[in-house]
Amino acid sequence: MLLEGAIKFARQGIEGLDANHPERTFNGFSQCRDIVFELLNTIRDDIDPELAQNARSLYSYLYRLVVEARFEKDRAKAETLVRLLDFERETWVMLMQQLAAEKGVTPTAGAATPATGSPRSEISLQA
């Protein structure tokens, strides 16, 4: 899944920051940025324009975070990026599980599940 790739590459960028390894930092954040940009560009308005705009706003914010984390070498922004990407991934997993339950379909053995068995944490974004 694209979100899992974005999380993986953002973590690689953080590892590069921690190790003072510019190439690893650049590659990790650049690949994460490319994935977030792809997600941003594939949002369609035809089903629910309001939902599409909300998703576009979220992915725009994530894009800004990854760019700023890389250029400013800001670990806090990078950690916020990872936390939000993980939260978004969990949201999609829960949606797929809910849709499968509504259709009476059992998810396949390889289907994604939330990374932890703990209750989902809440995140609040304020401008």
pLDDT confidence of residue 105: 77
The answer to whether residue 57 is domain-embedded is yes
The answer to whether residue 17 is domain-embedded is yes
The answer to whether residue 106 is domain-embedded is no
The answer to whether residue 119 is domain-embedded is no
The CA distance from 68 to 63, in Å, is 9
* Both structure tokens of 8: 């993986």
The answer to whether residue 69 is domain-embedded is yes
The CA distance from 101 to 90, in Å, is 16
pLDDT tens-place string over residues 27-42: 999 999 999 999 999 9
Query: Model-level pTM?
Result: 0.78
The answer to whether residue 105 is domain-embedded is no
The answer to whether residue 100 is domain-embedded is no
pLDDT confidence of residue 104: 85
Q: Into how many domains does the chain fold? A: 1
Three-state DSSP class for residue 35: helix
What domain range is 48 assigned to?
2-87
Please report, for the domain that includes residue 45, its CATH number: 1.20.120.340
pLDDT tens-place string over residues 39-97: 999 999 999 999 999 999 999 999 999 999 999 999 999 999 999 999 999 999 999 99
